[in-house]
């Protein structure tokens, strides 16, 4: 398909330009940029025929993408990078973080485990002491109790280890098989780890040497909530400032169905790009914050379990002086498991903060200064232009008729568009104005539209077909809106689905006269296929010989498994 080949060649040229600039850019992201920006009304190639593009058009498009990527103040590229971070941010999933850290942790522990299991059955006293010391390090590292180099922590771990396994038990340990040793080592580390955690819980614990995951979680939650609140507050403030400025620069009259403005809409689109960037930032932060709140809930549940098992151990120890190990040790093991879960939740909060910092870094501080300067510039221009321009709603919707898009209207049901006035976006080429009411205009598709006023919704209901046609073209031909409403994947999938490989008009047919059966090379049939005709002859002779050796003798239940059963007699057992 010529269109697809053109976009692929553009992607190769952009990759070469990035290599010349010593920039390491993901190839998938380049493909993502090319396919999405090619559809953009402002930066894309909508004015050109991609089946027969001109060299100047392609060169200008390549330069636009490269310059936008390098420019940290480019709003469209910032939106695209934020969307890409959220798509590829697999660490937003708690289960993935658990698996990732567990695999990394087990890989690092393998060397220590192998070192512990290598001791022979005939260990000397020095070797047993070395084994005992390595067990302490393993326990500290296994449950992240602190630094394995901290001699005070190792001493506390040694005391707990001595209370569970003595010198004679250690000698018996090396006599076990290796797989039994590993299983026992894991149970032992869970028990001893629980004892160390319990001994240092509460205000009397050694906080300088033994780590407290509960305290770490409290600090992490406090810092994370403050960071989210500050970032989201800043985004809300800037998007409100942009929307207020846009509201002052245009006037929508629902009675006369007219749009009045002095500053051209192309200039207002510059300010709208800043608004879209801050809305995009806020939505990304909201998504991360939602996952963070889910983890906070799990932390609360796990912390209650932690307090419960601590109280259970307290009650058990307060009632007796000598306690059977089978009664108390399972509580220490469970305490270690809860401790491990809290560590996983802490790791997830760390990964969420990393994603938050990546997203925030894409919206630089200079962008705020540039936004305020653009607002001041547009307001000054608004004052200088004396004669306003008045257009009807119908004229504005007819202005986008020439735009072409293959974006599927039904995909809008997945987009969160109810926050913005759909009619204002349609008649202003995508300006983001706040919505006050919501309506479902189409009974066949579950799409909720937002409108500034019920009378705006009434106009959209009465002129549903032209409104939907214009709204669809405005949204799908604007990269910023497609990114904000998460329609980018739908657009790219549509592009790739359109790539239909035509079958060739002529094909080469290769055959072999000896091969008379269908060459089925599936796993179940590949062993019966051969390219040598003599193999079939040999197989035929072999089956014929088997056929000749077939007999008609029958066997009964009595003669089964006995040779010459007809000539043999067997004495029955006599019962007294």
- Could you read off the pLDDT of 81-121 as tens digits, one per residue? 999 999 998 889 889 999 988 888 888 888 888 887 777 77
pLDDT confidence of residue 372: 93
Q: Are the C-beta atoms of residues 242 and 278 closer than 8 Å to each other?
A: yes
pLDDT at residue 576 is higher than 60: no
pLDDT at residue 514 is higher than 50: no
Q: Which sign, positive or negative, has the C-alpha torsion 48, 53, 54, 59? A: positive
- Give φ, ψ of 250 to 5 degrees: -130, 160
How far apart CA 437 and CA 141 sit, in angstroms, is 56
Distance of CA 402 to the CA centre of its chain: 38
Q: Which of 343, 87, 300 is nearest to 213 (CA)?
A: 343
pLDDT category at 255 given cuts 50, 70, 90 is confident
pTM as predicted:
0.79
pLDDT at residue 507 is higher than 70: no
pLDDT category at 516 given cuts 50, 70, 90 is very low
Per the prediction, the chain carries an average pLDDT of 82
Q: Which H helix or E strand runs over 357?
A: helix 325-362
pLDDT confidence of residue 378: 93
CA dihedral 505, 510, 513, 517 (to 10 degrees): -80
Residues 6+ away with beta carbon under 8 Å from 358: 85, 89
Complete domains list, the chain, with CATH: 1-70 (no CATH), 119-201 (no CATH), 213-384 (1.10.287), 390-498 (no CATH)
Q: Which of 425, 354, 358, 362 is nearest to 396 (CA)?
A: 425
How far apart CA 48 and CA 46 sit, in angstroms, is 6
pLDDT tens column, 286-301: 999 999 999 999 999 9
pLDDT at residue 464 is higher than 90: no
Q: Are the C-beta atoms of residues 417 and 485 closer than 8 Å to each other?
A: yes
pLDDT category at 49 given cuts 50, 70, 90 is low
Q: Are the C-beta atoms of residues 275 and 246 closer than 8 Å to each other?
A: yes
pLDDT tens column, 302-344: 999 999 999 988 888 876 666 677 778 888 889 999 999 999 9
pLDDT at residue 1 is higher than 60: no
User: How, if at all, do strands 258-261 and 250-253 pair?
Assistant: antiparallel
pLDDT at residue 559 is higher than 70: no
How far apart CA 368 and CA 231 sit, in angstroms, is 13
pLDDT category at 501 given cuts 50, 70, 90 is very low
pLDDT tens column, 204-215: 777 778 888 888
pLDDT tens column, 430-442: 899 998 888 887 7
pLDDT confidence of residue 323: 67
From 148-162, 178-192, 463-477, the region with the lowest mean pLDDT: 178-192
pLDDT tens column, 471-500: 888 888 888 888 888 888 877 775 655 444
pLDDT confidence of residue 280: 93
How far apart CA 471 and CA 422 sit, in angstroms, is 7
C-alpha distance from residue 165 to each of 132, 146, 185 (Å): 10, 22, 11
DSSP state string for 31-65: HHHHHHHTT-TTTSSTTS-TTS--HHHHHHHHHHH
First to last CA, the chain: 95
pLDDT category at 505 given cuts 50, 70, 90 is low
pLDDT confidence of residue 361: 93
């Amino acid at each position: 398909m010529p269109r697809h080949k053109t976009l692929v060649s553009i992607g190769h040229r952009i990759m070469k330009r990035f290599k010349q600039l010593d920039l390491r850019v993901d190839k998938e992201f380049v493909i993502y940029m090319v396919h999405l920006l090619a559809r953009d009304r402002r930066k894309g190639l909508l004015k050109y025929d991609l089946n027969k593009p001109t060299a100047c058009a392609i060169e200008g498009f390549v330069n636009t993408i490269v310059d936008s990527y390098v420019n940290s103040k480019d709003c469209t590229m910032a939106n695209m990078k934020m969307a890409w971070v959220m798509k590829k941010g697999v660490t937003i999933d708690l289960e993935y973080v658990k698996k990732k850290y567990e695999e990394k942790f087990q890989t690092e522990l393998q060397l220590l485990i192998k070192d512990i299991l290598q001791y022979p059955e005939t260990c000397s006293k020095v070797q047993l002491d070395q084994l005992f010391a390595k067990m302490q390090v393993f326990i500290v590292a296994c449950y992240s109790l602190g630094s394995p180099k901290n001699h005070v922590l190792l001493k506390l771990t040694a005391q707990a280890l001595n209370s569970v396994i003595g010198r004679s038990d250690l000698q018996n340990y090396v006599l076990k098989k290796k797989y039994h040793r590993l299983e026992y080592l894991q149970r032992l580390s869970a028990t001893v780890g629980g004892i160390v955690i319990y001994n240092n819980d509460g205000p009397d614990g050694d906080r300088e040497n033994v780590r407290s995951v509960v305290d770490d979680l409290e600090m992490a939650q406090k810092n994370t909530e403050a960071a989210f609140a500050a970032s989201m507050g800043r985004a809300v403030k800037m998007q409100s400032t942009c929307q207020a400025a846009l509201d002052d620069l245009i006037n929508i009259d629902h009675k006369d169905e007219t749009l009045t403005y002095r500053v051209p809409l192309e200039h207002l689109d510059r300010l709208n790009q800043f608004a879209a960037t801050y809305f995009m930032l806020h939505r990304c932060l909201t998504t991360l914050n939602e996952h963070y709140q889910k983890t906070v809930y799990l932390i609360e549940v796990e912390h209650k379990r932690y307090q419960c098992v601590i109280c259970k151990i307290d009650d058990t120890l307060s009632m007796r002086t000598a306690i059977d190990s089978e009664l108390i040790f399972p509580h220490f093991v469970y305490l270690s498991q809860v401790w491990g879960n809290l560590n996983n939740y802490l790791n997830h909060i760390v990964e969420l903060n990393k994603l938050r910092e990546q997203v925030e870094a894409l919206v630089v501080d200079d962008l705020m200064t540039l936004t305020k300067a653009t607002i001041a510039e547009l307001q000054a221009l608004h004052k200088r232009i004396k004669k306003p321009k008045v257009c009807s709603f119908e004229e504005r919707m007819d202005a986008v008729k020439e735009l072409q898009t293959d974006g599927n209207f039904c995909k809008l049901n997945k987009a969160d568009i109810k926050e913005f006035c759909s009619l204002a976006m349609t008649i202003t080429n995508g300006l983001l104005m706040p919505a006050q009411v919501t309506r479902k205009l189409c009974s066949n598709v579950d799409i909720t539209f937002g409108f500034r006023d019920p009378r705006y919704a009434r106009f959209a209901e009465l002129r549903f077909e032209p409104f939907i046609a214009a709204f669809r073209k405005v949204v799908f031909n604007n990269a910023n809106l497609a990114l904000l409403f998460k329609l980018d994947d739908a657009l790219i999938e549509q592009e790739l689905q359109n790539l239909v490989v035509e079958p060739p008009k002529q094909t080469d047919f290769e055959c072999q006269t000896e091969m008379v059966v269908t060459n089925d090379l599936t796993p179940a049939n590949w062993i019966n296929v051969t390219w040598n005709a003599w193999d079939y002859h040999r197989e035929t002779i072999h089956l014929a010989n088997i056929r000749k050796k077939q007999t008609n003798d029958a066997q009964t239940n009595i003669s089964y498994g006995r040779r010459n059963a007809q000539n043999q007699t067997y004495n029955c057992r006599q019962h007294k």
